[in-house]
Structure 1
Amino acid sequence: MAESKLEKYFTSEQQKELQKAYKSGDLEQIDMLIEQKQKALKDTIFNVAVTGETGTGKSTLINAMRGLLVDDGEEALAAPTGVTETTLVPTPYPHFHFPNVVFWDLPGVGTPNFIAQDYLKDMNFECYDFFLIVSSCRFRENDAKLAQEIERMRKPFYFVRTKIDLDMYSLQKRRKNANQKEILEQIRADCVSNLQSAGMSQPQVFLLSSFEWENYDYDHLQKVLFEKLREIRKYDILNLEEHILNIAVTGETTAGKTSLISALLNMEGIDKGTPTTDVTPYEYPLISNIIFWDLPGVDTDSVNWQEYSKKVHLESYDFYIIVSGGPFSKNTETIVHEIKKMDKKFCFVRTKVDLEIMSSEKSEDSVLEGIRNDYVSSFDRSTACPTHIFLVSNYNQIKYDFLNLQVMLSENLQKIKKQTLLVAFVNENLREETKRPHRSFCSLM
């Protein structure tokens, strides 16, 4: 059974705190607990053990992985290297660019000082998150035993075969016509075959030279190792950047929904004159992964709301912009009622106020005040007053409330996006634990 995010990231005590907040409907408390955990995970040290038999070049590999060139006067910062055993106790060496990543230089296995059968216990293998098993020739019995023990602990590891330059030189002497690629593939296949014979199903082997880091698999090892580290210690419990926020723009057919979307997104080429008959998506340019959905308009007061909701997937959006081009209508009231039933948040946009001002003998301020009061009182009667009511003209974006609408969206959409992600996390993880029904919670806005 797959491990849930709750089990992966939180202790049993922290899970109880989250479930308590869930039962009381306290989304802000859940948000705070998750933020605290993400900060703690960012500060977590990732320990990489570099192990293998003595003389395989473990310390030299660590220096290279940390970006240290001993020949350039960095001896004081580097792991000691030599032809004899230079590492007598597990020694930590932090990465210079990623201080939370620490390479541990372990003493060589299989020497009189470190007998293979006691090595795992002596080196505290349970303390490490990832392993590099290093060999300078054929992988041997000790290497296989190390790998089997690491597999038993269900921890990841790679095999690293060093001193490839010496093998290349030797084989090229014996096989004059062989090219480098063929020789490398032969060495790699030999390593994989030996490891598979020892019980490793799909061993990953990297071929390196301590004197030619620019050649062979060094760059590839660096890349895949740090990708693996990010995967193992991925601290973004709530991946806000990748989460998609879906905003539905709905209302009556003649309200000017498409024109409003075009103005908000500053997009040319949208057909504003033809009523929308299909659900049409438009990406928000200011924040990634926010999509405005232009829903088909509601034509008559006798619309079948069950069929309409199913056609436009009304329940699948995270936030709603309800658009009207005239007085508060039965359709507008029904749309509001349907959204409130889903416990979703919305704002209201009254378009074409410029046309109403032009046709009235009253002052502009009086007309605007009258429109706003009409909608406020209508919403009050339906007990569903939205957080925001905006009066706009789709063709004059300087006057009225259009700029206020843009500011509200730019300031609040990221908050709404985070809220929907929190609710999704809660319902995916905590609802299963407590066996409670789906919750929507109140808005963070």
Structure 2
Amino acid sequence: MRGPSMTDAGGETLDVEVLIVGGGLVGATLAAALAVNGVTVALIDREDPKTVLDAGFDGRASAVAAGARHMLQAIGMWAEIDPHAQPIRWITVSDGKVDRGAGPCKLHYDSRDVGEPFGHIVENRELRRAQQRFLAGLDANLVHLAPMGVERVVRRPHEVVADLADGRHVRARLVAACDGRNSRLRREAEIEVRSWGYEQAAIVGTLTHERAHRGVAYEHFLPAGPFAMLPMVDGPDGEHRSSIVWTENRDLADRAVELSPEAFAEQIHRRFGDTHGAVTPVGPRFRYPLSALHATRYTAQRLALVGDSAHAIHPIAGQGLNMGFRDVAAFAQCIVEQRRLGLDVGSPEVLQRYERWRRLDNTTLVAATDGLNRLFATDLPPVRLARDLGLSAVDRMDPLKKVFMRHAMGMVGELPRLLRAQPL
């Protein structure tokens, strides 16, 4: 990394190859993937590293698909995450009604059929904690500034210059916008998005329960939206824990998060039954309005959209974060290969390659999750019958089930090397 210099505008200038704006789960992973492969990076995050580890900052747990785990292993970060990661060994999908439990038609996936867990459930807070520990050891190639605001980003034909809130500047060959679905960098580049909202909100929280979950993830489709029970590692005192993602109509979701623990547990029981025995809500509950978006393009001059700045989807399949991780794997490979050839890492050619690589996969998932949500939210008897027949048919067709399992693992299509656990 070139040392600091002074500019006519005043203040210290940091010279790096790639500037990353946004240090969330995707931005931090991208910084790690580049820095461990010798690329000099400046990671700028407006959030305080201590604040993002608070229990009240983010109540979600994420399903880290097998392909994403391979990438995290390849860059060396998984060792920090593994103690907090619960393997998903089975998945059960069912169609039912509140107060009637799951219907007779179910779809079961067994990870033994594919030779490894489908993924791992990890609390977002633990993912962030692991990322911070890992990034701290990459200071030879990484400047991590947080909390830090970005006042302005100027993209020129041959460079990018960012003005920081403390008067410093960052000069880079390329900027990666990892600043979320409301991306300021995307707006400034005049990249349009197609977006739509759902009359749904996700209620997220943690439960303890009497019986062990055995590594089974449940997704139960209800008329208001999917109800997911996701296995987590046991608590410090050995208590069995799961994370719920309960999709509900927005007005009912507002009331549900305010219920007493006893009333909330009763609503969980109505939707999930006795599989885990008595359940007890623990910690805060969170409500997230649901929407989706997809950028009409992923790149502009010296700019790439990565993660939620490019796409955001319904949580029905738990693939949102994994789409971002697949972006990271493809982007990192494009940059590292370009750099090893001694070529400009911010050139139009490398940006076009990244967009071509990721656009089809992301477009498919945006459409599939939207269609699944609309299909299962319809409770008309003929549609319900067709759904149940479809679940039963797929459950009896092992080759087709394996295709769906590979999709859930993020292991289909032209995979970047990191997703195959191969170093760059």
Task: Answer yes or no: same fold by TM over 0.5.
Answer: no
Of structures 1 and 2, the one scoring higher in RCO (CA 8 A, sep 6+) is 2
Higher helix share: 1
For the pair shown, which has the larger CA radius of gyration, 1 or 2? Answer: 1
Give me the TM-score of the superposition, normalised by structure 1: 0.20
Higher strand share: 2
Give me the TM-score of the superposition, normalised by structure 2: 0.21
